[in-house]
Amino acid sequence: MNRRGITVRAGVLAVVALLAAACGSPGKPVDPAPVGEAAWPQPAHVGGPDASAGGGSDTSCNPLASLAPDKGISIPDGSTMAKIKERGKLIAGVDQTTYLFGFRNPTSGNLEGFDIDLVNEIARQIFGAPEGHVQFRAITSGQRADVLKKQQVDIVVRTYSITCARKKDVQFSSVYYVAGQRLLVTKESKATKLADLSGKKVCAAKMSTSAAKIATDPAKLVAITVDNWSDCLVMLQQGQVDAISTDDTILAGMAAQDPTLQVVGDRFTQENYGIGVPKDNVDMVKFVNAVLENIRNSGAWQNSYRRWVEPSLGPASPPQPQYQ
């Protein structure tokens, strides 16, 4: 009986083994809907390192020396300003995405900010009042030189740093604001300088001096470049980059839109903002410099600064102009 039981069991085992060999193993349950990595969507035209703007370290010229204004603000016949007046519109290349300096206020639909105030002051000196006499043209950082070279705009007021490389193509007014490059990171981040971000992704706008600094810094950063500064903010909020590095003015505007971010570290560059003018319009440069003199002395600069920048960056006074 017992022996027979063993035989039967052996037989059953043999049959099972045979069936298993015939059918193969049952395998593993199939993943019904495999998903590769869920990639983040990206802003349009995201690129890599871009050093085309050149650095602020270029000392082949004195970038700050502009053309001295004539006495008083005047519009001679046949001048560039007279043509603008006849046209009825001052065409200004500005930013509509940089909070505090040039941005579209969604509740009013208007462009506002420190740079926009300057444009309005220049229009006021040409037309008597800025309302209805300014045509704003939103441009990216990368388009600033291009629209000036093609004479598509009369002025560019868009956190435009004066450098020797740029002065070859366009004219700059005297310095109206001095900023410096710093870092914007999340409050959890321990980074306080570029060296802390070695191998990490750092974002800047294309063809900006900040992008050039990131691309050439010895810290070996992974440079990410985008069209507009607020595209950098989107990517930082989505965790696609680890930091944004550019002028403290722009970073302050970003930090004001997101309480979980903070501006850290010291200024490691000096950025001198000037108003860009087409290369040949010498009279326009002198005119703009005269308007800037007026803005510095009349208190208009302080008013605008107090409204937009002071809450984030503390008190400051206008930089002194230098002329050739």
Partner 1 sequence: MTSTATAPGPTAPAPGPPPSPPDGRDRAGGRSGLLGLLDLPGQGVRAIVRSAATTPGRLTVIAVGLVLLSLVAGLAATLSVQDRDDTISGVIDHREPLAAAAQQVYRSLSDADATAASAFLSIGTEPPELRQRYERDVAEAGAALAKAASDASDVADAAAPVDVLNQSLPVYTGLVETARTNNRLGYPVGASYLREASELMRAKILPAAQDLYRVDTERLIDEQDSATGFPWLATILMLALLAALVVAQVYLTRRTNRLLNVGLVVATAAVVVSLLWGAVALIVQGSLVGGGQDDGSHRVDVLVRARIAALQARADETLTLVARGDGAAYEKDFGDNAAQLVGPDGQGGLLGEARGLIKDGDGVAKVADAAKAANDWLKAHKEVRAQDDAGQYQEAVDFAVLEDKTDGSAPAFRRLDDSLQAAIDVGRQEFLDDTHGGDRALTLLAPGLAVLAIVAAAGVTMGIRERLREYR
Chain contacts with partner 1 (rule: CB under 8 A): 35, 38, 41-44, 89, 91, 93, 96-99, 103-109, 134-140, 143, 228, 230-231, 233-234, 237, 254, 257-258
Pairing of strands 276-278, 170-172: antiparallel
User: Which CB, 159 or 294, lies closer to partner 1?
Assistant: 159
Nearest distance from C-beta of residue 319 to partner 1, angstroms: 26
Nearest distance from C-beta of residue 93 to partner 1, angstroms: 8
User: Which CB, 64 or 232, lies closer to partner 1?
Assistant: 232
Alpha helices in the chain (DSSP H): 2-23, 80-87, 114-127, 144-149, 164-167, 209-216, 229-237, 248-255, 282-298, 300-308, 310-313
User: Which CB, 66 or 210, lies closer to partner 1?
Assistant: 210
Nearest distance from C-beta of residue 222 to partner 1, angstroms: 20
Nearest distance from C-beta of residue 257 to partner 1, angstroms: 4
Integer CA distances (angstroms), 290 to 74, 305, 323, in order: 9, 19, 12
Q: If we measure between CA atoms, which residue out of 278, 272, 70, 300 comes closest to residue 174?
A: 272
User: Which CB, 70 or 258, lies closer to partner 1?
Assistant: 258
User: Which CB, 21 or 39, lies closer to partner 1?
Assistant: 39
Dihedral angle computed from the Cα positions of residues 75, 79, 85 and 90, in that order, rounded to the nearest 10 degrees: -110
Nearest distance from C-beta of residue 34 to partner 1, angstroms: 10
Distance separating alpha carbons of residues 253 and 159, to the nearest angstrom: 12
Q: Give the single-character DSSP code of 167.
A: H
Distance separating alpha carbons of residues 170 and 62, to the nearest angstrom: 15
User: Which CB, 96 or 210, lies closer to partner 1?
Assistant: 96
Nearest distance from C-beta of residue 89 to partner 1, angstroms: 5
Q: Say if residues 303 and 181 touch (Cβ distance below 8 Å).
A: no
Q: Which two tokens stand for residue 124?
A: 């006021």
Q: Give the single-character DSSP code of 161.
A: B
